[in-house]
Amino acid sequence: MKEKVARAKASRAERRGKLSESHNLVITLVATHLQLSTSDVEEFVIDTEEQVCLFDSFMSKGGQKSLMLYYQEGDAPVLEEVGRIIVGIPKGARIQTLFITDGKTTQLTGQCMFFTRLRTDVEVCQRTFGDVHFGMIDVTGMEDGVVAAFQSLIETVYMPALKKFEEWGELDKTPQGRRIHRDFMDCFRGFMHCLSSAHSSVCDQVILAPWKDVDLTSVVSASDCIEAAESPDFVAAIEETVTQWCSQIAKVLVQNDQIRKEADDTGPLAEFEYWRLMTARFNSILEQIRSHNCRMAIHVLHVAKSKILKKWQYLDGKITDAANEAKDNMKYLYTLERFCEPLYVADPVEMVRSIPSLIHAIRMINSLSRYYNSSERITSLFIKVTNQMLKTCTAYLTEDGLVKIWDLPTDVLITRIHDCISLYHHYQMAFQETKKNLETLPGEQPFEFSEMYIFGKFDAFCKRLEKIMSLLDIIESFDRLAESSIEGVDSIITKFQTIHNKLKKKPYNILDHRKQDFEYDFVDFKRQVSDLETNVKEFMDIGFVKAPTTLLALKFIEKFEQCKLKGLGIEDKYNRLLLQFDGKIEDIKKLYQKQREDPPIPRDTPPVAGKIVWARLLYKKISEPMHTFANHPDVLKSMHAKTIIKHYNKVAQVLIEYEMLYYRAWKESVLAAKQALRVPLLVRHPDTKELLVNFDPLIYEVIKESECMRKLHLDIPEFAKTLCLLRKKLKADHCTLKTLLEDNRTFREKTPAIFNSLMTPIIRQVDATIRPGLTNLTWSSMNMDSYFESVRNALIDFDALITQLLAIKNSRIDELLDEISQMQLCELPTYESWTTETFLANTTKRCNERATRINMLSNKVEEAVKDLITIFSTRTRAVCNTKRLPDKLESHHVGESHHAESSLAVAKSHSGTALGSVRGRRETLVVGEERWLCCECHELFAHFNHRCVESLLRATRVSLEMMRKRCFSRGSTRIDSVPKVEERGKEPATSFFRANMILVIPNVDIHPNIDEIQIALTKGTQLVLEVSRSVIQWGEDRELVTRSKHAEANAKPLRNYYKSIADHKDVNKTAMMLSSLIRSFRTEVTQRLQQETTYNFLWEQDREEIVKVWQFHD
C-alpha cells in the first residue's frame, strides 16, 4: 500500500511539472468563472495522466482543437490512485469534482467549461491566447439535458451576436462574399431549427407503461406462449399492462383528432414541425409495439383469448393509420420545406422570385397527396404562408424590430412599403395564374380555396401600408415647408410637429392591421392636417398679394409648390401672374429704349462688359419668370398667353442682338491693343520734360474686358487670351518702371542745390542708362528685365553717392558750422558783479578757448569740403574716362568762362591752394572739362567758405550783442552788488561792473571811474573780435602754424578772418556802441554820487566837536 501511495505521489509530482505558464492561462480563467482558487483547479487537473495528456494536446502545436472541463458531482479522489486526498472527505464519498474529458465517456450533469482554438499550426501561449474562444454550458437541474442547454446558448448568445455584427471583412465587398455570408446565416438558422426539433422530439415521445412482475425475455416460441397463457396470474399481469397501453394510445389518437390551437401568425414551418413531431411520436409508439416483449405479450393474450385483445387490435390499426398519414404528409411537406425557406431568410424583394415555385409546390401537394389534399389543410397552409410573409414584411420595415418605422428615413421607408405591396401583388397574381391554369387542365384538383381567408390579412396589411404612405406624404410636405425658408410659417410648422409627435407616441403597433385604434387616429390626423392646409393657403394668399414683383411672387409660389400641399390653388395664381408678367415685359422694353445709349454699369466693370451685363440683367428679369411659366404648360395654352409669349420673344431678341452688337465691336477693338504694346516704355512730358511711363490704359481695359467676357461665357480672341496670360508680367513691368521713375525723381530731389552742377555728369550717366526706354524698348521687348536691372543698379549707385554726399554735408559740415554760429565768445556775470580785472581775465580765457575750438572746427569743415571735391572729381573722372562730357556742359563751360574767372577771383582771397588736390588730376581731363570742373569746385569751395565766415560772423555778432544787452539790463547801476534771493534765476539783477565809492576830500568819487570801466569794456570787445584773428583762412597751409613759432620775425604770417569780421558793418556798429556805452551812464553815476554830499559835514567840519555835541544832547 505504501509503495502504491509513493508511486502515485511521484507520478503526481511529475504531472505537476508538465504544467507551464500557458497552462496557467486556462487554469486561471476556469478558476475565475467557477469561483475556485487556481490551486484547487490545478490539483483537479493533475489527478490523472489522461487529463494532463488532453490538456497538453490542446495547448501544443498540431493538437486537438477543443478542450472540455466538467464541474459536477463525482467520486472523491483516492490516495493510492491520484496521490492525494481531501481532508475531511471519507473514501468513496460523492463531491463536486473538476475533470478534463473528451465528452465521449462521461455524461454531463453539471457545468461544462469549453475552449476552442481557430489555429492548430501554432501552440497556445500568451501571444496566441487571444485566438482561443471560451464558453460555458450549465445543465444543473435541467430535465431537458444537454440539447436544451446548447440550444439556449445558441439562441441567447451566438445568434444575437451574429445579427449585430455588421462588418464581415472581405465578404461584404463582393456579391459572391455576400452570398456566402447569407448562406452561412441560413445554415446557422437551420442548425438552430434542427436543435429545436430534436429537443421537441425527445420531449414529446410517448413511453408505454413498463411491465410489472412480468418477464417475457424467456418467451420466444409458440409453445412458450401457450405455456404462459396457462398461468392466470401471468395473463392478468399482461392484461393490466396492455390496458394501460390502450389508454395511452387512445389518448394520443384523441389528441391527434383534436383541432389544433395555433397563433394567428404561425408560419408554414410550424406545419412541418407539427407533422415531424407527429411522425416521431407515432413511430416511437410503433417501435415499442413491435418490440419482442410486446409481440410476445399479444401472442399470449391471443392464446388466452383475452377480451382486451379486440380493443388492442382496433387501436393498433388506428395508430398505424395515423403513423402512415403523418409519414405521407411529412413526405410531401418535406418537398415544400426548401421553397418556404425564402419566407424566413429573404426580404420581400428577394421573396418575389420564389413565390411561383412555392405555389407550384403547394399545387403538387394538392394534386398528389392522399391525406393532405383537403381544402381545409391547403387553405391553412396558404394562410401560414401569408402569415410568414406578413411577419417578414414587418421585420423588413422595422429591421427585425430594432427600430420603429418613424425612425427610418422617409425615402427608405417608402421604398420598403412599395416592396411589401409589390410582394402582395405578385403573390396574388401567382395564385390566380395557377388557379386559372388548373381550370384548363382536365383531371387536376382545382384551387377551390377561400381567397378571403388566404389574402384577407395581407390585403388589410397593404391598406394599412397605403395609409402610412399617405401619412408620410403629408409629413414630407410639411417637412419641405419647414425647410423652405418661408418666413412666417413657424407657427404652422410647430402645430404640425405637435400633431405628428402625438401620433408617433401612440403605444400600439402601427403595422398591426388588426388593431383599429390607428383608423380613428388616422381620421383625426387628416382632419387636423386639413385645418393646417387651410392656414397655409391663407398665409400664401397674403404673401402673394404683398409680393412687389412678378419674379418674387413666382419664387414665393414655387416654394409652396415644392411642398406639394393640397388645396392651395397654385395654378390659379400662375394665371394671375402671367397677366402681370406682360406689363413687366413692357417696362423692360421702355427701360431698354431709355438707357441703351448710356446704361448703368456695375462698379469695377469695363464699359463693353458692363453694357453686356446690363443687357443680360434685363434679359434675366424677363427670362426667369418665363422659364418658371414654361414648367406649367397648362398656363401657356390660352390665347392671351400666346400673345404674351410673342411679346417676350421680341424683347428677348432685341436684348440678345444688343449684346452681340457690342461683343462683335469689342472683338474688333482688341486689335488696337497690339499697337499699344509697340510704343516705347517711357515718354517725356511736353511741358515739364518729366519722364513718364508710356503705358496705354487700353491694355488693362482689354485684359479686364477679356476676363469679364470669359466670366460671361463668351469667346475671346487669341490676342486677348495672350494678354490675359501676360497680365501679371505687364502689371509687374508697369509697376517696376513706375517705381524706378519714382526713385529717380526722389533721388534727384534729395540732391542739394549746391551739388546740382557737379552732379551733372553722374545724372547724365543715369539718364543714359534710362534712355533705351525712350527709344528702343517697347512693352513687347524680351530684354526688359535686363533693362530694369541696369536702371536699378544705376539708381542704387546714384542713391549711394547722394547718401554719401549728404552724410558729409550734414554731419561734417552743417553740424559743425551750426556749432560755430551758436558759440558764445564771451562770459557775462550773472549773480555777482565783476571788477574790470575779473571781466578782462574771464573774457581773455573764454576767447582763447573759443578761438582754438573755432579754428579746429573750421579746419574740419575745410577737410570735409575737400573730401566732397575729391568725390566729385573722382566720379567726374570716371564718367569722362568712359564718355566725354555732354556738349551742353562744354558749351556751358565756354559760355560761362568769364563767370568762372570772376568766381575764381572772388574765392581766391579765401581759398589760396584749395584746389591743390584737384590740380593734380588735370592731366586726365581735357581742357574744357578741366576748366568746367575747376570752376565748379571753386564755386563749391567758396560757398562753404562763405558759410564758415557767416557762422563766425554770427557768433561774433551775437556775443557782442549779448554784451551790449547785458550792459543795458536793469540793475546795471545798482549800488548793492548782491541780488535778492527771489531774483536769482531770472534776468541778472546785479550790475555788470563793480566799482567802489571813495572819499576824495572834499569830493566823493568811484574807483575805477567811468573812463577806466569804458576802457575795460572796449578791451573786452576787442578780445571778442580777436577770436577771428586766430581762425586761419581756408586754403592756407596749416603746417605753417607750427613752424611759425620757430620762424624768423620777418616770416610771412598766415591769413585769418579778422579783417572780414571786424570790417563787417553789423559788428562794427555794435563795437562802436560798446566803445561809448559806459560813458552814457556818467550822468546817472554823478547823480548817485551827489546823494552822498549830504554827509559832507563829516569831513568839512571838526568831527570830534560834532560828536561831543551829539553826546551832550543825548
CA distance 419 to 427: 12
User: For residue 538, how many other CB atoms are within 10 A of its CB?
Assistant: 10
pLDDT tens digits, 6-36: 887 888 888 888 888 888 888 888 888 888 8
Question: What sign does the CA torsion over 673, 675, 681, 682 have?
Answer: negative
pTM over 0.95: no
Give yes or no: residues 755 and 838 share one domain: no
Beta bridge partners of 178: none
pLDDT of residue 1050: 53
Looking at 115, 141, 167, the residue that finishes a domain is 141
Asked if residue 616 belongs to a domain, the reply is no
Looking at 422, 449, 476, the residue that finishes a domain is 449
pLDDT < 50 regions, the chain: 883-925, 976-988, 1048
Give 1015's contacts (C-beta < 8 A, 6+ positions apart): none
DSSP tag of 211:
P
| Secondary structure percentages of the chain, helix, strand, coil, to 5 | 70, 5, 25
- The answer for 1081, left when phi > 0, alpha when psi is -120 to 50, beta otherwise, is alpha
Give yes or no: residues 351 and 310 share one domain: no
Q: Residues 989, 1000: contact at Cβ < 8 Å?
A: no
Q: Any idea how long the chain is? A: 1114
Give yes or no: residues 436 and 466 share one domain: no
Give yes or no: residues 466 and 440 share one domain: no
Give yes or no: residues 736 and 870 share one domain: no
Give yes or no: residues 705 and 784 share one domain: yes
Asked if residue 160 belongs to a domain, the reply is no
Number of domains in the chain: 6
CA distance 913 to 900: 17
Give the distance, in angstroms, between the CA of residue 5 and the centroid of all CA atoms in the same chain: 79
Give yes or no: residues 333 and 352 share one domain: no
Question: What sign does the CA torsion over 1015, 1018, 1020, 1023 have?
Answer: negative
pLDDT of residue 922: 39
Asked if residue 850 belongs to a domain, the reply is yes
Looking at 550, 568, 586, the residue that finishes a domain is 568
CA distance 587 to 564: 33
C-alpha cell at 589: 422694353
Q: Which helix (H) or strand (E) holds 98?
A: strand 94-101
CA distance 53 to 46: 10
C-alpha cell at 35: 469561483
Asked if residue 1091 belongs to a domain, the reply is no
Asked if residue 519 belongs to a domain, the reply is yes
Asked if residue 414 belongs to a domain, the reply is yes
Question: What sign does the CA torsion over 211, 212, 217, 218 have?
Answer: negative
Give yes or no: residues 714 and 787 share one domain: yes
Q: Which residue has the cell 398461468?
A: 231
Amino acid in the structure at residue 367: S
Q: Residues 990, 971: contact at Cβ < 8 Å?
A: yes
pLDDT of residue 119: 83
Give yes or no: residues 437 and 502 share one domain: no
Backbone angles phi, psi at 444, to 5 degrees: -90, 145
Range of the domain at 420: 346-449
Give yes or no: residues 11 and 116 share one domain: yes
Q: Which residue has the cell 434685363?
A: 618
Q: Residues 624, 551: contact at Cβ < 8 Å?
A: yes
pLDDT of residue 902: 35
Q: Residues 288, 332: contact at Cβ < 8 Å?
A: no
Give yes or no: residues 987 and 895 share one domain: yes
CA distance 963 to 1067: 12
pLDDT of residue 900: 33
Q: Residues 781, 682: contact at Cβ < 8 Å?
A: no
DSSP string computed for 221-285: SHHHHHHHHT-HHHHHHHHHHHHHHHHHHHHHHHHHHSPP---TT--HHHHHHHHHHHHHHHHHH
Asked if residue 885 belongs to a domain, the reply is yes
Closest CA to 431 of 488, 358, 533, 377: 358
pLDDT of residue 918: 38
Q: Residues 614, 600: contact at Cβ < 8 Å?
A: yes
Q: Which helix (H) or strand (E) holds 753?
A: none
Give yes or no: residues 405 and 525 share one domain: no
Asked if residue 1107 belongs to a domain, the reply is no
